[in-house]
Amino acid sequence: MLLLSALLCDRSVGDDVIEIDSSDAFVSMSDGIELATTVYQPKTGGPFPVILARTPYNKDGQKAEAERFCAHGYAYVAQDLRGRFKSKGTDAIIFHNDGWNMPHDGHDTIAWISQQPWCNGKIGTTGGSALGITQNMAAPGAPAALTSQYVVVAFSDMYHQGAYQGGAFRSGLLENWLKGTGMSPANLKTFVEHPKFDSFWSELSPESQAKRVNAPGVFIGGWYDIFLQGTINSFTTIQSQGGPAARGRCRLVIGPIGHGSMNELSYPANSARLPRCADSLAWFDATLKGKENGVNSEKPVSYYVMGDPTDSSAPGNYWRTADSWPPISTATPFYLHLDKRLDTKPSAENGSIPYRYDPSEPVPTIGGAELGLNIGPRDQRSVESRSDVLVFTTDELTESVEVTGRIEARLFVSSNCPDTDFTVKLTDVYPDGRSMLVTDGIRRARFRESFETEKFLEPGEVVEVSVDLWSTSLIFNKGHRIRVAISSSNAPRFDPNPNTGHGFRVNHEKRIADNTVMISDKYPSRVILPVHTTSD
C-alpha cells in the first residue's frame, strides 16, 4: 500500500526463511453463504496466534504479508468479502455485511478461526482502507478471541466520513470507488436513497458502538487521508469508552500522508521517530504474544507536525507524542472582513459579500483528502481567482502559528434558493504566493441544524452554518499567511448541489444560487483554529 509504505518506510525485521503450508476453504457464515478463505501457517509448531485480513480486493494479494507473519510464528488468514472474487453471495451492502448486524461475516469468521486446531485462541486483525473498515465493523461485540487490531486509514462512521460529509455526497470517493471496483449497482442505488442520517447509516457507524469493543487497536492515519477524522474518532471513542481490554490501551499514529501520492508538496518522513506500534509485527508481538518490545511503554498518541518543507530552518516537520487527543490548544477565531482580510479581531464594519454559484460550472477539486494521484497539499490559486470563490487572507505572519486539532468555520449566510452548499478551505500561503491546501470541508444548508431532519432556506433569510474542516497539525511559518476560501462547490470531491431543494438525484433540474456571506458584529463569520503553544 503506497500511503502506508510512505509512512512506515522499512521498519520490518529480517525475516527467517521457513516452510509454510497454505490451504483454501469455504467458510460458512450464519446464513449459509460461504466465503473463500486461505489459511497460511508454518509447517512446524503451533498452535499459533492468528492474523486475519478480510478484503474486497482479492485475498490472493495477501500472500506476501502472510509469509512475513508466518516467518515470525503466526498463522495468517486471508478472506474475500461476501460476493467478491471467489466468495459466494452478493457484495451489497458492502461493509454492512461485516458488522455487528446480520449478516455479521467478521464475527462468524473470527469464531471459525478460534475453533481451528492451529489457532491458540488469540486473533489479531490487520489491513488498511477497505481492510481497515472491515476491522472497525467487526470490532463491536466480536467474539472474545479478537485480541488486537491494526487499523490503517478507515472510517468510523460511513455516513459522515465516507458517503455524505457535511451532508454532501462524496461522489469523487464513494461513487468512483464503487464503479471502479465493480461493486454491485445495488450499493450506489442504496446509498443514494439515504441522503439523511437514518437507521440504515446507524448500522454503518462503528464509533457509536465503541462501548462494545473489547480489543485494543492501533489506528494509523494521514493528515490528507480520505478517512482522517474516522481514524481519530476510532481512537478517541474506544480509548475512552471501550471494554476493559480496550479502554486506555489503544494507539493513534497520524503522519503527513494521504490516500495516494502527494506530488506538489511532500514532507520529510523522519521515520526514525515513529513509534514501535506503527510496525504491525511489533504491535502484534506485544498484544498477542506478550513480548516486552517497547510498545507498552510508548505514549498513546504520536503525530506529525507539518511545516514548510521547502525551508530547512522552518519549524515543524517532526513527530510529537501525547497522552491523549486532541492536545491542549486555544480555540482562536479568525474573522472575515469586508476588505478580504482574515484577522483575530472582529470586523468593525457591517456588510456582506455576495457571489453567484452555478451548479453547471462548479469549482473543480484540486488536491485535498481524495483518493488517487496528485492529492494532498496543492496550490489553489487557479480556483481562488474565480468570481464564485471568496478569499480572505491574514497579513504576513510576524511569528509562526501552530494549528493542531479540529477546525470549524461558522458562517452567517443567505441564499435565494431553498438549498445550497457552503465550502471552506484553509490554505497556507507561501512567500512566493502559492496557496497550499491544508484542509477543507462542506455543509449542505438543508442539514445545517441536523443530519436527520431537513430545514430549507427562505429567500434572504440569514442563517448560521457550521462547516467541519476535520483536523490537522501544521505550523504556519513566519512570513507565510493564513487563508480561508469560501464557495459553494468542490467537484468531483462533493456532488454539486443543484440548489432546487428537491430530493437527492430525483431529477436533473438545476438553479443558479445567489449566495451571500454576512460580515458584521451581529453576524461574525469566522473560522476557529486550535492554536497550540509548545516548547518543542
Asked if residue 228 lies in contact with residue 470, where contact means CB atoms within 8 angstroms, the answer is yes
234-259 burial, b if ≥16 CB within 10 A, otherwise e?
bbbbbbeebbebbbebbbbbbbbbbb
Q: Where are the beta strands (DSSP E) in 57-97?
A: 75-80
For the chain, counts of helices (H) and of strands (E)? 10, 24
In the chain, the percentage of residues whose pLDDT exceeds 70 is 96
Question: What would the pLDDT profile of 145-188 be if each residue is shown by its tens digit?
Answer: 999 999 999 999 999 999 999 999 999 999 999 999 999 999 99
What is the rounded CA–CA span in Å between residue 440 and residue 471?
A: 9
Question: What would the pLDDT profile of 359-386 be if each residue is shown by its tens digit?
Answer: 999 999 999 999 988 899 999 999 999 9
Answer yes or no: is pLDDT of 491 > 60: yes
Domains in the chain and their CATH numbers? Answer: 2-10+24-157+205-322 (3.40.50.1820), 330-531 (2.60.120.260)
Question: What would the pLDDT profile of 304-349 be if each residue is shown by its tens digit?
Answer: 999 999 999 999 999 999 999 999 999 999 999 999 999 999 999 9
What mean pLDDT, rounded, does the chain reach? 95
Question: What would the pLDDT profile of 450-478 be if each residue is shown by its tens digit?
Answer: 999 999 999 999 999 999 999 999 999 99
* pLDDT (0 to 100) of residue 270: 81
Answer yes or no: is pLDDT of 14 > 80: no
Residue 307, classified by CB atoms within 10 Å of its CB into exposed (0-12), middle (13-18) or buried (19+), is: buried
- Residue 477: Cβ within 10 Å count: 21
**pTM score, whole prediction:** 0.96
Q: Give DSSP secondary structure letters for 114-161.
A: HTSTTEEEEEEEEEETHHHHHHHHHSTT--TTEEEEEEES--S-IIII
